[in-house]
Chains A and B, each alone.
Chain A
Amino acid sequence: MMPEREEDSLAELLDRLLNKGLVLNADVLITVAGVPLIGLSLRLLAAGIETMLEYGMFEQFDKSTRDWALKNRVTSPALMAEEETRLNFFGSYSQNQGKAWNYGYMYLTNRRILGWHKGFNKILYDVALKDVLEITIVTTVHEDKEREELCIKINNNSILNLHSQNMGEVYSALISEVHRT
């Protein structure tokens, strides 16, 4: 049998065009309200589930966050004087062996390792490198899959777990910064 394009069905197109394909890198360019929202409304129509109310709320929320982001574009967290970024990466973290993992941009500087929420320009956590006692890579099961995580013990008895795509690179950069301080 040969592949057919039939009458391109809307549901199928939507799945491809809204959920897949390349998206813009928010660091460089900004997607504006408007068109992506149409995507949302269409997706809801196609799925036939969400109520208008929920959609309305989302639209409002989405518009205001986007407007806010356009006005207050911040591209990196505020650092201390003489503090320099050594490595930054996108990843997730959890504190004190908690179950909850949150996402954020992680910054390793010559003084600290910190998590930063770009949208709200908020420091999620920060640990001074001089307070780091021990760094290990551990293998754990996360959502039914094995993966490597970084386990950082801090001298106030708390523990920070980190995860990102490039665990090895983060590990070696962190080790060398900690040794330097």
Chain B
Amino acid sequence: MNETEQDNCLYIYSILNTATEQNLGPIGIDDNPVYTIVYRDIAAAVHFSETKPEPAKDEQQAKEWVFTHNYAIDKMTEKFGTLLPFSFGCVALGDDETIRSWLQKNYEPFKSELEKLNGTAEYLVQIFYDPKILAEKVLKDNPELQALNAKIEGMSRGKGYILQKQLDVRRDKAITQELSNLGIEFGKAIHENVKEMIPEEKKSNVPEKFKGKKSVITLSCLVSNENVENLGHVLEQINEHEGFAVRFTGPWAPYSFIDIKKDFEQT
């Protein structure tokens, strides 16, 4: 690469609502100062680097970067309201003018997305169940299974084996049925209090607190600020259901609800 060629880079954190160029302080990765590059009434929040970023030295540093990226997003949300968060690690080659002309080119999709998300935040809802408690419950509720269970108890182990297998299969079926009934009920109640929700396909991790439980469903929810309390009530009721537990985390910047990629692809 020849020496006159510039390697100036801008690390991008978010697109947000503001018409003022301002310094947001050293909240960026490696304590870099973050500032806004404005076009009309929207801005990109970035930090400047003279050189292209090097890969992290080790896992520890990489972790710190991820946490800092998220911290910077939180700080900006406090100040500017709902914003469009960038994925970790988006670096633009160029200077402020590059970014400004990019904002200009994509002004409409950015602005309409900001308006759509205004006054909302993302929350994560995970519902867990305890398989043991649910197994007891379906047995209690189902006289046929009870009768079968009683019969087995009176038998020798060899004779009871086949019947035991039968019981297991039928009980598992009853559990699945119970879960799907409740799932529909819970889903409806949650849906009434969110603007949008996306089921997370990936098996999310089960935190320590919920060990031994199984995940029924994990939902990313976009919730209006005034509806968070209502959603909390609904989740409280689910949480009080015997054998169920709910994890409710947030607020997060609306990472899961940005719908701009397709606008890009068409331009």
Residues from chain A with Cβ under 8 Å of B84 in the complex = 21-22
CB distance from B82 to the nearest CB of A (A): 13
Contact B89–A38 (Cβ < 8 Å): yes
Residues of A within 8 Å of B70, CB to CB, are 8, 13, 16-17
Cβ of A60 within 8 Å of any chain B Cβ, yes or no, is no
**If the complex has contacts A1-B235, A15-B202, A20-B87, are A32 and B55 also in contact, measured as CB distance less than 8 A?**
no
Residues of A within 8 A of B54 (CB): 34
Whether the Cβ atoms of A3 and B266 lie closer than 8 Å is: no
Query: How extensive is the interface on chain A, given as a class?
Result: 35 or more
Least Cβ–Cβ distance between A59 and chain B, in angstroms? 9
Please give the number of chain B residues whose Cβ is less than 8 angstroms from any Cβ of chain A in the complex: 61
| B contacts with A: majority SS | mixed
14 contacts between A and B (CB under 8 A): A3-B232, A8-B67, A10-B66, A11-B204, A16-B252, A18-B88, A20-B256, A21-B85, A23-B87, A23-B90, A29-B93, A29-B98, A36-B89, A36-B90
Beyond A21-B86, A29-B102, 19 additional contacts (C-beta under 8 Å) are A1-B239, A3-B123, A3-B250, A4-B248, A9-B207, A10-B67, A11-B204, A13-B66, A17-B87, A21-B255, A22-B85, A28-B105, A29-B94, A31-B89, A34-B52, A35-B11, A35-B89, A38-B55, A39-B88
B residues lining the A interface (CB < 8 Å): 9, 11-12, 14-15, 52-56, 59, 62-63, 65-67, 69-70, 84-94, 98, 102, 105-106, 123-124, 202, 204-205, 207, 228, 232, 235-236, 239, 246, 248-253, 255-256, 258, 260-262, 264-267
B171 to chain A, nearest CB (A): 31
Does any Cβ of B come within 8 Å of A90's Cβ?
Answer: yes
Q: Is the CB of B266 within 8 A of A31?
A: no
A14, B239: Cβ atoms closer than 8 Å: no
Residue of B nearest to A30 (CB): B93
Q: Which of B63, B106, B202, B250 contacts A25 (CB 8 A)?
A: B106
Q: Say whether A14 contacts B66, CB under 8 Å.
A: yes
Q: Complex Cα distance A90/B62, Å?
A: 33
